[in-house]
A and B are shown apart, each in its own frame.
Chain A
Amino acid sequence: MLLDLNQVSRTYARHQGVPVTALHPVTLAVGPGEFVCLAGPSGSGKTTLLNLMGLIDAPTTGTVTLAGQPTHCLSRRAAARLRLRTVGLVFQEHNLIPVLSAFENIDYVLLLQGLPARQRRQKVYHILDLVGLGDLADRRPGELSGGQQQRVAIARAIVTAPALILADEPTASLDSTTGRGVMDLLRRLNREEGITCVFSSHDPRVVGRADRVITLRDGRIVGDGRPAGG
């Protein structure tokens, strides 16, 4: 399995120390090439579960194994390295570094990987063409539309050829046409590049495009299967 979560829960200490459980213990696995949607209403624990899958949050209990590597003992630095190698992250909005151009935002993660300049340049332009933004490479995020920004974020997430893309409500801030374009892109990457995608949404049109839907409610998994009508 690409991703294994075993009895993973997340509790936050809030309001004068009163703990709030965002995610009750869940156990699930995601295999290579899957196209998975985490569905559920706001506050159901989708983002918490995605954060735990992407190692940008640590579980209160349980263990996360990513690409065969147990992650509970990893330092911040080691976790960052594993993320860089294995995971591409797309957030709901404001994904990009505003002072960098579209090209530089994508180039940055390749720089972190230590790739030489020529190789990076080729990859960045290839990926920008793939997401249909080859002409906008020099624009900064403020000069791009919301949909274009999301596509740059997806380009950044996939440019390192990660095994897994985690996208937290990638269409939530977009109009329906642009949102559909973003989902088409993710689907194409899943089919053509074999990239595993796990994304969250509460939009039935987006949920319906997944091969597998994991439904959450109040921090618990209440369903795991093919989408209704799929």
Chain B
Amino acid sequence: MTLMPLTLRIALRNLRRNPRRSFYTIAAIAFGLLCLLVFQSLKVGLHREMVASTIGLDAGSLQIHARGYQPNLAVLKPLPDPAKVEAALRRTGCTAFARRLKTPALLLAGKESSSVLLSGIEPGREPRVTFIASKVVAGAYPAAGAGVLIGKPLAKALEVGVGDKLTLMAQSAFGRPVYRRFPIAGIYRSALASFDRSHVYLSLGDLQNFLDAKGVVTEIAARFPLSQVAAKAASLRRALPAAQYNVSTWQKIAPDVVQLISLNDATMGVLIVIVFAIVALGIVNTMSMVVFERFRELGILAAIGTSPGRLVAMIVLESGCLGLLAAAVGTLLGLGACWWLGRYGIDLTAFTSHNQYFATSHVLKAHLLVRDLVAANLITLATALVGGLYPAWKGARLEPARAVRHV
């Protein structure tokens, strides 16, 4: 048996001397850890939802355009040699990619009209990049010659349904205005009404014909696991000449999402500091009481030869034991809360129905990462240890002669 186990025994037995105080202190620390786990897991869930919405709605993990391409311009900027781009994508191991042709257009139905972004898509490959195909609520995803897919809010505003005809007006590849009537092949509804009102789909071939732009595509969107995006983008940038191509990751396509995630992280950081500063003050208070109550004992321990460092270790160890017990309790409670929030989530429809970051679902679900669980426990333990340091230092600096007189 070394000295540390006896010191540990003293620390643990001291915790039992005032069980009510120990209970409340442990409860306070555990509550701090519970808050940290819940906030952090909800934040991760929120970020995952935001990224999934951004990628799955339209952006994909990355997009490749011709150099100088700008979205929403009526003048088409064709992607040079799309087959070369696809070959480069295949070499990176990517199988989920799709060609697109995008142009702004005016949609007319009877007396009503609406400006939209028209996307020519490959019906066979696009669903592997975005989730719109899974959001079709009437009719079908637009196959070649089948017509257009419009959003439900737009269909409602124009008072049209599947099988009705619409007129699309746009600018051809040669700069001439063109218009044509298309039947409505299907109606989709994502969770984002503003998107549904402004995005219309038809097959790539149909749009190329409509715009007199045979074989033209303006972008290729691809999808990778999130963790691979940066590496794949770097690989593609090496493979495709920068003078001709521009490879944009979802972060570049949607910088607002990236900024919002950073802002959330910073806000969470501040929140964590505040919560744990309160926890630390609670520990300092408890351990100060402990030192005050045990003036005489500390004096005796010092008098019989315990070094100041050993006294500090003894008090910090007691504080650490509080932290450890609290970490165990907080982790159990936190895991339970995160499991429940991960399974059932919080319905935020009232707050997010017009929010572009909730295009897949309005239910915010917790997602607890192992690294967050470990970090939260380490923060809790560190707080307990640091919180015990000052009272321990005060305790170790007691004059033994003065302390043993204390009653």
Contact of A109 with B305 at beta-carbon distance under 8 Å, contacts A51-B401, A57-B401, A94-B296 already known? yes
A4 within 8 A of B: no
Q: Smallest distance from the beta carbon of A173 to chain B beta carbons, Å?
A: 12
B400 touches A57 (CB 8 A): yes
Residue in chain A with minimal CB distance to B399: A57
Interface of B is mostly: helix
A56 touches B404 (CB 8 A): yes
B297 touches A98 (CB 8 A): yes
* Proximity bits, A92-132, B CB within 8 Å = 1, else 0: 00111111100010011101101001000000000000000
- For B303, give its contact among A89, A99, A100, A117 (CB under 8 Å): A89
Residue in chain B with minimal CB distance to A54: B303
Residues of chain B contacted by A99 (CB below 8 angstroms): 10, 13-14, 17
Range for the number of chain B residues in contact with chain A? 20 to 34
Residues of chain A contacted by B296 (CB below 8 angstroms): 94
B307 touches A97 (CB 8 A): no
Q: Smallest distance from the beta carbon of B314 to chain A beta carbons, Å?
A: 10
A117 touches B1 (CB 8 A): yes
B127 within 8 A of A: no
A80 touches B297 (CB 8 A): no
Contact of A97 with B10 at beta-carbon distance under 8 Å, contacts A57-B400, A112-B3 already known? yes
A84 within 8 A of B: yes
Residues of chain B contacted by A81 (CB below 8 angstroms): 305, 307
6 intermolecular pairs with C-beta atoms under 8 Å apart: A56-B299, A77-B309, A84-B305, A100-B9, A109-B304, A156-B304
B interface, CB within 8 angstroms of A: 1-3, 6, 9-10, 13-14, 17, 296-297, 299-310, 399-402, 404-405
A interface, CB within 8 angstroms of B: 47, 51, 54, 56-57, 76-77, 80-81, 83-85, 89, 91, 94-100, 104, 107-109, 111-112, 114, 117, 156-157
The 8 closest A-B CB pairs, nearest first, are A84-B305, A57-B401, A99-B13, A56-B400, A51-B401, A56-B401, A111-B3, A80-B307
A-B contacts besides A56-B399, A108-B304, 12 pairs, CB < 8 Å: A56-B299, A77-B309, A80-B307, A81-B305, A84-B305, A85-B305, A96-B300, A97-B297, A98-B297, A107-B6, A111-B1, A112-B304
